[in-house]
Amino acid sequence: NAGVTQTPKFRILKIGQSMTLQCAQDMNHNYMYWYRQDPGMGLKLIYYSVGAGITDKGEVPNGYNVSRSTTEDFPLRLELAAPSQTSVYFCASSGPSYGYTFGSGTRLTVV
């Protein structure tokens, strides 16, 4: 049981480039979330999904897009990378209970 798996672990992007951060969970959780964590700060919600085919914006959605075609996968897309998107990105999922299971994070640097 792998839990929540995020790839890649590290990535450096140039300004204007695009990339997709992958997130997969094998717990059959309906709820999935994307957070970003800036240095010394807490977690800010980017997007979330309550089930396959349903997504919604969180606190800081600008510059990002998501899709949820399956229960297992919840990729996060950056279309035109900007330095302000330099951060650590965490994916999480939750099931019938409220507790979240987090992935190990993707450290993204935009230069």
Task: Output 17 or 22, the one with its CB closest to other proteins.
Answer: 22
Which one among 2, 28, 62, 98 touches other proteins, defined by CB under 8 A? 98
Among 23, 92, 108, 110, binds other proteins (CB under 8 A): 92
- Give CA torsion, residues 67, 109, 93, 20, to 10 deg: 20
Amino acid at the residue 65: N
Which CB atom, from 16 or from 51, has the smaller least distance to other proteins?
Answer: 51
Which of 105, 110 has the CB closer to other proteins?
105
How far apart CA 63 and CA 58 sit, in angstroms, is: 12
Which one, of 21, 27, 26, 40, lies nearest residue 110 by Cα?
A: 21
Yes or no: say if 90 and 5 are a contact pair by the CB < 8 Å rule.
Answer: no
By CB under 8 A, residue 78 contacts other proteins: no
* 13 lies in the binding site for other proteins (CB under 8 A): no
Q: Which is nearer to other proteins, 6 or 85 (CB)?
A: 6
